[in-house]
Amino acid sequence: MAKAKKSIFFCQNCGHEESKWLGQCPVCRQWNTFVEEKVTAAKTGGQTKSLKEAEVVALSSVQTDREERVCTGIGELDRVLGGGIVPGSLVLVGGDPGIGKSTLLLQVCQRLTERKQKLLYISGEESLKQIKLRADRMETFTDDLLLLCETNIETIRSVIEKERPSLVVIDSIQTMYSEEVSSAPGSVSQVREATNIFMQIAKGMGISIFIVGHVTKEGTVAGPRVLEHMVDTVLYFEGDRHASYRILRGVKNRFGSTNEIGVFEMRQDGLREVENPSEFMLNGRPENASGSVVACSMEGTRPILLEIQALVCRSNFGMPRRTAAGTDYNRVNLLMAVLEKRLGLPLSNYDAYVNIAGGIRINEPAVDLGIVLALVSSYKNRPVSEDVLVFGEVGLSGEVRAVNMPEQRVSEAKKLGFQTCILPAVSLDAVKNIQGIKLLGVKSINEAIDLI
């Protein structure tokens, strides 16, 4: 008897199934996310397989031997992964087209082949010649790197079981398909089925697998949200395509912190690590320019110094214009309201433009004081000294509140040659042992403005 086919509607955001189309998903509450897919009904009849009796164990009897991580040879990637690759882990790497996902993973393969590890690079989008052309721009590869251009998951699984590599790269998950699922490659059903199979391979055979995922126009990985729940680690490649730097950010990590970032610079021969992101971000600062202030933000355990630029000019229209690039637009409006209320500055008649130089995006409250001082500096047309660093959270009453890790921020400023640091007064006790830099504690934005 032929298999019966029916249509099921899947939510592209969360993977929820419905028998009919709905305008809004009842689970994730997103609109217009349901797509129709043909699903083949499973066979019925025959003998029922005997169920295997499940075994339960006590928590105290579980062995917690520490997993030995495999260092990739790329320090920035190891930082984001939490110290290296965990054997048997499933890692999802997402990012815009052309951002450098395939280049980074090919460089990881190159470093690991130098240690005589057997690797398998599976591409469903590029031919063998295209991969070879990219590899020729990098360093020399050994014969331990195997290439395979295939999209059939069953064929890929048989190759992995035969070759037994230590690491597998799948580029990309949206091109893989299973013959048991009747929908087209890249659909919700195919992506979910392919990820489930690769997860079984990684856990069952102890092979680390890197999966490349396409992103939507909103910047999230294409496919159901359950895809990110199934994998162990989710990494996002960020950065302006017109800039040379790239930021690798950990969104989910079952084996480490999710606050770490890795900074790379795109060159002709591939990605290169940026060991000192602060110096890289501050390169090309203007001299004696009003509205320019250096602030410090923490990304995980790494302090990053960045330049905050502000431009305040009188508005020619009834409604002033507000623009924020690299930071939260609503946060800028809030800080401007604090300046107008607590300091009496008539900013309601002025246009304001705030920019984080270098194209990086920061949402940490510790840059509030830097934004405030940059706005006041531009409004009064008085430049802030180039050797001054500021950080601190600003409240609605105009108070400057404490932030985490002040000693790391001050130490980074001292290392880069800053002479003065303006910080919250309550954080002075934590940094009193640091010598060689002038520390000025402030309790309100009025004190901070008087100091500069």
Residue 47 identity (one-letter amino acid) = Q
Q: In the chain, helix, strand, coil percent, each to 5?
A: 30, 30, 45
DSSP state of 385: P
How many alpha carbons lie under 13 Å from residue 138 in its C-beta half-sphere? 22
Query: Angle at the Cα of 409 (from 408 to 414), degrees rounded to 5?
Result: 95
Q: Can the peptide bond before residue 178 be classed as cis, meaning omega within 30 degrees of 0? A: no
101 among annotated binding-site residues: yes
- Please tell me whether 102 is known to bind a ligand: yes
**Which of 71, 76, 64, 95 lies closest to 208 in space, CA to CA?**
71
Token duo for residue 135: 């590899």
Put residue 100 in one of left, alpha, beta given phi > 0 → left and psi -120 to 50 → alpha: left
Q: How many C-beta atoms lie closer than 10 Å to residue 402's C-beta?
A: 15
State the Cα–Cα distance between residues 422 and 450, nearest whole angstrom. 11
Q: How many CB atoms lie within 10 A of CB 422?
A: 25
Q: Dig out the tokens for 107 from the structure.
A: 């460089």
DSSP assignment of 265-325: EEETTEEEE-S-HHHHHTTTPPSS-TTEEEEEEEETTEEEEEEEEEEEEE-SSSS--EEEE
- On whether 97 is known to bind a ligand per the annotation, the reply is yes
Is 100 marked as a binding-site residue? yes
179-184: long-range contacts, CB 8 A cutoff, minimum separation 24? 179/152, 179/154, 180/40, 181/39, 181/40, 182/5, 182/38, 182/39, 182/40, 183/37, 183/38, 183/39
Torsion over CA: 418, 420, 426, 428 (sign): positive
Cα–Cα distance measured from residue 404 to residue 400, given in angstroms and rounded to the nearest whole number: 13
Phi, psi of 435 (to 5 degrees): -110, 160
Question: Strand ranges (DSSP E) for 137-290?
Answer: 145-149, 167-171, 208-213, 233-238, 245-253, 261-267, 270-273
Binding site listing: 95-102
Binding site listing for ATP: 95-102
